[in-house]
Amino acid sequence: MSFQRPSQPTLCFPGEEARETWLGGADGLWKRVDYATSGVMGVEAIAFDSAPFWSLNADAQDEAVSLRWEGFGLPSEGGARLWTHWGVTHNDKQVLVGTLALTAEASLPDSSGYEPSARLLPLPDHGIAVWQELGRYVVAFTREGALLHVAVLTSRSLDVDAAFEMRDLSAALQTHGFIDEVPAVHVWTRCETDFAPQLACLFEASSVIKEPRPDPRLPASASGLLPTQVAALRRQRQRQQSQMMMLAVATLVYLCFFGAWWLRLLWRESGLNHADVEMTAKQPEINLVRAAQAHWLEMEAAINPDLYPMELFHQIVSLLPDEGIRLKEFQIEDGRLIVSGEATMVNHALGFKDRLAACEPLQRYAWTFPVPTIREDNRAEFRAEGTLNGGTCS
Q: Are 219 and 324 in a shared domain? A: no
The pLDDT tens digits of the residues spanning 262-277 come to: 999 999 999 889 888 8
Q: In this structure, which amino acid lies at residue 222?
A: A
Residue 61 belongs to a domain with what CATH number? 3.30.420.40
Which segments of the chain have a pLDDT < 50? Answer: 1-6, 392-394
pLDDT at 4: 45
The partner residues of 131 in beta bridges, in order of sequence, read 138
pTM of the model: 0.63
The DSSP code sequence of 211-260 is -PPPPP---SB----B-HHHHHHHHHHHHHHHHHHHHHHHHHHHHHHHHH
Residue 32: inside a domain: yes
Q: Are 81 and 213 in a shared domain? A: yes
pLDDT at 3: 46
Q: Find all residues with CB under 8 Å of 219, minimum gap 6, and list them.
A: 3, 115, 119, 120
Q: Are 309 and 219 in a shared domain? A: no
Residue 31: inside a domain: yes
Which contacts (CB < 8 Å, 24+ apart) does range 344-347 have?
344/378, 344/379, 344/380, 345/378, 345/379, 345/380, 346/372, 346/374, 346/380
Domain boundary among 209, 226, 243: 226
Residue 250: inside a domain: no
Q: Are 218 and 306 in a shared domain? A: no
Residue 14: inside a domain: yes
Domain boundary among 177, 204, 226: 226
Domain boundary among 160, 194, 226: 226
Contact (Cβ atoms closer than 8 angstroms) between residue 337 and residue 356? no
Between CA 232 and CA 240, with CA 236 as vertex, the angle to 5 degrees is 170
Residue 331 belongs to a domain with what CATH number? 3.30.1360.100
Residue 3: inside a domain: no
pLDDT at 46: 93
Residue 275: inside a domain: no
| Domain ranges, residue 129 | 10-226
Q: Are 31 and 124 in a shared domain? A: yes
The Cα-based distances of 120 to 41, 115, 140, 147, 291 in angstroms read 10, 7, 12, 11, 102
The pLDDT tens digits of the residues spanning 15-66 come to: 999 999 999 877 778 888 887 777 899 999 999 999 999 988 767 788 888 8
Q: In this structure, which amino acid lies at residue 238?
A: Q
pLDDT at 300: 61
pLDDT at 333: 78
Secondary structure (3-state) at 319: coil
Domain count, the chain: 2
Query: Where is 141: in which H helix or E strand?
Result: strand 136-143
Secondary structure (3-state) at 113: strand
Reported residue count of the chain is: 394
Task: Of 382, 385, 387, 386, give the one whose Cα is nearest residue 327.
Answer: 382
Q: Are 215 and 306 in a shared domain? A: no
